Structure formats: structure tokens, C-alpha cells
A = this chain, B = another copy of it.
Amino acid sequence: MAVSEYQVTGMTCGHCEMSVREEVGEIAGVTGIDVSAQTGKLVVTASDEVDDAKVLAAVEEAGYQAERA
């Protein structure tokens, strides 16, 4: 199991969190997602190490910017 943490900017509400959750949840191997619009913190748990580029692309697809924390 691997846990990766990212900092997301631009989320303002629960809908935004849900958008990020949906996109990141589509990445193969992801088993858990913890995301907060308030702090911008995104924690992704996966069965194996996730590709940061995939997570960042998923967040961008949802409409926000992220970087590895």
C-alpha cells in the first residue's frame, strides 16, 4: 500500500471535492481518497505506488491545479 499527498488549489466547496474524488478515483490501483477543499490537501492511497503524473492530470481534468506535497 502506498500513500501519496498532494496540494490542490482552486477547490471551494464539497462539489469541488467530489469532482476531484471522481477523477482521481478512476486511476487504476487507487483504493482511498481523502480530499479537503478547506486545506487543499489530497491524500491518495493505492495498492501500489501511484504515478504522480496521473494524479496531477486527474486533478487538472477536474478543473484544478495540484502539486506533489
**Chain A contacts to B: CB under 8 angstroms:** 12-13, 15-16, 18-19
Q: Across the interface, which residues of B come within 8 angstroms of A19, CB to CB?
A: 15
- Give the number of times this chain occurs in the complex, counting copies: 2
The distance from the CB of A11 to the nearest CB of chain B, in whole angstroms, is 8
CA distance A43 to B5 in the complex (A): 41
Q: Across the interface, which residues of B come within 8 angstroms of A18, CB to CB?
A: 15
Q: Across the interface, which residues of B come within 8 angstroms of A16, CB to CB?
A: 13, 15
Extra A-B contacts (5), CB below 8 Å, given A15-B15, A15-B16? A12-B12, A12-B13, A13-B15, A13-B16, A15-B19
CA distance A19 to B18 in the complex (A): 13
A15, A18, A19 interface centre (most CB from chain B within 10 Å): A15
